[in-house]
A = this chain, B = another copy of it.
Amino acid sequence: MTPEQAYAELIRRSREQKVLSSCVDLLEWDEQVCMPRGGSENRAEQSALLAGITHDQATDPRYGELLSLLEQSPLVADPESAAAINVRELRHDYDRERRIPRRLVEEWARVSTLASQHWGAARERSEFKPFAKWLDRLFALAREEADAVGYPETRYDALLDDYEGGLTTRRLNELFSQLQPALVPLVDQLHGRPAPAPAHVLAREFPLDRQRLFLEGVATALGFDFERGRLDVARHPFCTSIGPGDIRIAIRYHARNFSNGLFALLHEVGHALYDQGLDSDHFGTPLGESVSLGVHESQSRLWENQVGRSDGFWRHFYPQLQGTFHEALHDVPVETFRRVINHAAPGPIRVQADEVTYDLHIIIRAELEQALLSGDLRAADLPGAWSDAYRRYLGIAPKNDREGCLQDGHWAEGLIGYFPTYTLGNMYAAQLFSAADRDIGSLDERFAIGDFASLRDWLGARVYRQGSRYSAAETIERAAGGALDPLALIESLSRRYELSS
């Protein structure tokens, strides 16, 4: 077998595996968006079965043979060549997968499907207690996975690596310990700040059908391609890629809380632009895949905050918004509207949090999940620990479990070690946006004339179409022209929110 033949087989297998795992993605999308309640047991069986088959394929020893053969061949001599990159990344994934037994993979799929249902029910009733035993099972599985995969210093390393390749707990805590003390004085200044008078405008009546039309228009203007994607409603907003021509967003929107749906849309469109912008010629191989969840999150946070809260964005969209919701906004000038949507104040809910306080929500979750994983915190004690942390970092406490530790579905879905990627994303986004602004020149003026393509193209060349060519850290460094610096985020927040850091 020549290296060329081996490489062709490797790529065929990689693509096949991606196609199979995209079937799992569709099962999950359907579960969130379409599935009737009665389907949940069978869905758990379906997910477990497909996850097991995917795992079998991903750990087929044939992969190992092909990789070993290729690693010795001249095909990978140039480390920047497509072959070298794909072989490097597939080796990393193969080694990780090989260490996880199929039984554990199926158990994850089954438990997380059921746990998500129970989380939904617990959240609805705002009662954590019946969910505690599910959380115990989930963290037990996470420990089992970490032990199977192995880690340099602590189990949490093994989980982080799955979402942000190469990131260690030590490095994460180092970044967070730079960020957190710089955020606290900003948040302190918010406590003294009065709410802008007409804050209640967002609680006026924004008819759902009109929101839908307006949001579809915004998504299209930013570059989301409805020919290759869709927009739906789900309890928890998300974006998923079913295939190169099938990228799906789901959000929730409410008649009397306009900003919820709006910023969920901008966030998920940011994810979707990345997925729709990947190089489809390399679909199903690392070169055609996003590099990490942190970088993915940088795209969602960039469009949500750096773009969607800017002056130029609203100079462009406000006239249309005001026309669409004339009853609600007829007496609200654009400056007032911007002040209202950019109002920052500590609150209990992460997905409704402003940009300034957002990362403290994440730092709390990262601390708590490390404690739950190590066993320092028992699941049953989570509500208390949650309230304590919120009091300590944000000066507030949740009224109940629903606005406390039941607000997010991530852990129930088995996403443990995932939350930090949100704050990594915020840090990356601040650096990327400032570099793009420097390269392209006054982005705000571009937005004001409805030009979002300049920014999208800049990101397309430097992020989307790079796939997994470089590590996450290197991708950001090359695009932004400098190493990661948590203080770039502090600077961006201070400037835009007029806070002194």
Contact = CB atoms under 8 A, between A and B. Distances in A.
Contacts of A19: 42, 45-46, 49
A255 interface: no
Contact of A36 (B16, B23, B35, B230): B230
A23 B42 contact: no
A22 to B, nearest CB: 6
A43 B243 contact: yes
A30 interface: yes
Interface in A9-64: 16, 19-20, 22-23, 26-27, 30, 34-43, 45-46, 49-50, 53
B245 A42 contact: yes
The oligomer's copy count stands at 2
Interface stretch (A220-228, A331-339, A426-434, A460-468): A220-228
B22 A246 contact: no
Residue in A39, A45, A49, A229 whose Cβ sees the most chain B Cβ within 10 Å: A39
A37 B243 contact: no
Interface range for A: 35 or more
Contacts of A38: 225, 227-229, 244-246
A11 to B, nearest CB: 14
B36 A34 contact: no
A242 B230 CA distance: 22
Contacts of A27: 23, 26
A231 to B, nearest CB: 10
A246 B26 contact: no
Classify the interface of chain A: helix, strand, loop or mixed: helix
B228 A36 contact: yes
Interface in A45-97: 45-46, 49-50, 53
B244 A36 contact: no
A285 to B, nearest CB: 14
B42 A230 contact: no
Nearest to A242: B39
Contacts of A45: 19, 243
Interface string A312-344: 000000000000000000000000000000000
A98 B242 CA distance: 32
Contacts of A49: 16, 19-20, 23
A280 B30 CA distance: 22
Nearest to A35: B246
A41 B22 CA distance: 13
Contacts of A225: 38
Interface of A: 16, 19-20, 22-23, 26-27, 30, 34-43, 45-46, 49-50, 53, 225-230, 242-246, 283
22 contacts: A16-B49, A19-B42, A22-B42, A26-B26, A26-B27, A34-B34, A35-B242, A35-B246, A36-B226, A36-B227, A36-B228, A36-B230, A37-B228, A37-B245, A38-B225, A38-B229, A38-B246, A39-B242, A39-B245, A39-B246, A42-B244, A46-B243
